[in-house]
Structure 1
Amino acid sequence: MRPVSYSRVADVGTAIGTVTADPESTFLAGGTTQIDLLRIYVEQPARLVDINDLPLNGIEELPDGGLRLGGLARMSDVAAHPAVRERYPVVSEALLLGASPQLRNMATVAGNLMQRVRCSYFRDTEAPCNKRAPGTGCGALDGVNRGHAVLGTSDRCIATHPSDLAVALVALDAVVRTEGPAGPRSIPIDDFFLLPDRTPEREHPLTHGELVTSIDLPALPVAARSRYVKIRDRESYEFALVAVAAAMSVVAGRIAEIRLALGGVATKPWRARAAEQVLDGAPATADSYLRAAEVELEPAVSHGMNEFKIELARRTIVRALTELAEREAAA
């Protein structure tokens, strides 16, 4: 194993300065994915800078009625927080479905957004992978691709983004706040994840040494009427084949507000804007939900083994919206 040095820091400025000064260093938070990648030589940093002592684990009210999640807040703490459960149930549900209890107690919300893809070709250092080794090709294109993406793909990469939390945050238009060598930034969540066009190795717009300090959830009344539906091979801890984050309000039988995002089917958490346009003002019926799903998935491209995901995504969208409408009618 390659030697790795380790240090702990106690303030944000020192953390950023330490990592920025060494191009082979990286931040270490919960480590639930990062340590795995280090063990199998997919990532080989020369230095780990432990940031767990930084004061970034709080959950705070914002003046406009939103909520700020500290970057180091643990998944389990956010999922159980009363304000999250009441005002943003889709976030709580996505967190609870996103990992085992042991992992949720260690993993941070910022680390969850930063986790790398679960593609077996990415994790096999002998296999071609443009994301791990740019220019070597994508083994999944003609290989084992049952779990891979059908939306947002390119001829360089078809790996799905693994985060459940990110799908919920994209549906809600959350904002990622960072600190880095150039100062603070606010990044709309949909811009925080990059498509694998010409540079599939870049998954985020962050610079070296830039640290996610918090995630802001906007004041959004419709978010209280939201849910997260996750379809997977087994009900115990497993990654999504298809997931739907949805928030919807219905007035006089018609959809007054709709927010929809998909997971498990795209190379980034996928905001279903085409479906939202179809649903805005439409009758809250299964026919409307199906028509919206078909429009959203029209550009989907399968690669053989993952073709089933297109039909599964259609059905999951209809199920999520139907259950949301029934829940609101019963309220």
Structure 2
Amino acid sequence: MSTPLVSIIMPVYNGEKFLEEAIDSCLNQTHTNIELIIVNDCSTDRSLEIATKLQKKDNRIVIINNNKNLKLPASLNVGHKAGKGEYVTWTSDDNIYNLNAIERLLTTLKINKVDLVYSDISKIDANGKELKEVSFLSFENILFGNFIGSCFLYKMEVFNKNDGYNESLFLVEDYDFWLRASLHSKFFQLKENLYNYRLHRDSLTHSISSNNNKNKLFIKNVELMYSSFAKSIMLNNHEVIARFQTNILIHKEIQFDWIKRNKNMFFEFLTTLSKLKNYSNKSALKKLLMNKITYVFVLNYKEKQNISRAAFIILNFYSVLDTKTIKTLIKYSFFKK
């Protein structure tokens, strides 16, 4: 019985420091029927030299050289369109797969008859030392953050249905892809650690917090991403939902009275969303909203009216109230000054 071809896309831009290790982690997979498509985005270091050296040793490597620097989302599209596999994933030039990652992802996807599977990861430092394991929250949390992570596998048809990655949403291209895919493709969360995500000063993720221009672009694109997603769920008042999602993600102040005024819109959004297969757990959605509103309640604890605000949360979320939330409401209504 033949094993399916998996296309692994690796966009590369000046990744010489960790590139060989990243490539080796792909080539040494227990699932050997892979093609590794390296998209060199006009690197000015030794990245192309390293990739070419390894290509001579393993013909599963395909190298594509962009004529100009296209940035990550466009490079992902280039790689996907060149891919021949029924299944596809992508990885960064500084991260490392566990050797059985592709095999476990593929097996899980097929057994559960889903379109996309993702796993837990470890965070490592520049020297490869594990810093901590990351176990992602349940799927519905994707509404307020990218909890798919960096280790995943999906059918190529997911990419096609999405019409690829949005090239105008640099820095949130993956998060946007997951949100759009969640509207038409079935996701599955594999609670196994299969990937090593490297933290270092030169990473794209680090640049968002350290580079003011990139941080501004990140916030702008988060707003655009959430606005588009909310509009796909509800045509009217979608900007209220997008504003709430954005402010939660970037930790921007939210007035509790604004939440009370827009309560009906939040519940309308969840009701409509729950009709989709990935969001069918209505209780989980309601509890997620309760947790986010409780978070806002805590941030506003210095203000008056805490008791009435706690009552608002209890009355609207009594069916999903848990001990932790009750204790928080009591603490910040009566004891926290």
TM-score (norm 1): 0.29
Query: Higher helix share goes to which structure?
Result: 2
Higher relative contact order (CA 8 A, sep 6+): 1
TM-score (norm 2): 0.29
